[in-house]
Amino acid sequence: MEEVLVVKREYIEEALLKFKKKIVLDDIEKGHFMEIVCRDYSFMNRDLAENDVCFKQIIPYAFLTYKENVFVLRRLRMQNETRLHNKISIGVGGHINPKEYGNGNIIENGLFRELNEEINIKSTQIITTNFYGVINDDSNEVGKVHLGFVYQIELANMNIDILEKDKMDGEWIPKKEILDYYKDMETWSQIIMDTLI
């Protein structure tokens, strides 16, 4: 039985209403969300969390770039989240589990654990990791129970490989061509495209 990191919606509702943005870019706002999550999180059975809008599951979600290219993934039918099958994604991420305890930021620990499970990236390839802000999208069933923490990871080269080939495939796409994939993207990827790319 998987446990995932959640925050009660009531703890972040005021912040979400105040900012009225889908991605928060201001340093003070980013710090505020990070503080709330790191202070008030708990763990909950994933099956319960997926159907309880009183909680938001915190999902670190990173898009990978190399110069003017973005890594694009297609989620295959073997992936657990059936609501995202065959969707295009520019983000890699997932739930945070209790094993993310330890030194450092629990959200970023979860991000890099998930990244290392899905994609083969050497730490020496990472030039920068930037936390851009928060995606909140209550317009669909997936978004109602998730809150995305958006990161950009800039790489030194394109030498990466999908590890979970049964769950996804991927390729590098020049930013100028990425709009061709927009209509098939999952909602969070569309929000990143609209706001950051």
Domain spans in the chain, listed from the N-terminal domain onward: 3-195
Answer yes or no: is pLDDT of 155 > 90. yes
Instruction: Note the pLDDT of residue 57.
Output: 97
CA dihedral 29, 31, 37, 38 (to 10 degrees): -170
The amino acid that residue 113 corresponds to is R
What is the number of other CB atoms lying within 10 angstroms of the CB of residue 84? 17
What's the whole-number mean pLDDT along residues 75-101?
74
Q: Count how many residues are written for the chain.
A: 197
Instruction: Note the pLDDT of residue 156.
Output: 97
Query: Which CATH code for domain 3-195?
Result: 3.90.79.10
Answer yes or no: is pLDDT of 77 > 80. no
For residue 67, name the pLDDT band (cuts at 50, 70, 90): very high
Provide the token pair at 7.
């925050």
For residues 70 and 26, the answer to whether their CB atoms sit within 8 Å is no
Distance (Å, whole) CA 78 – CA 153: 26
Instruction: Note the pLDDT of residue 14.
Output: 81
Element (H, E) at 111: helix 106-118
Instruction: Note the pLDDT of residue 21.
Output: 63
Answer yes or no: is pLDDT of 147 > 60. yes
- Each residue's pLDDT tens digit, 4-57: 999 999 998 887 777 666 677 778 888 888 999 989 999 999 999 999 999 999
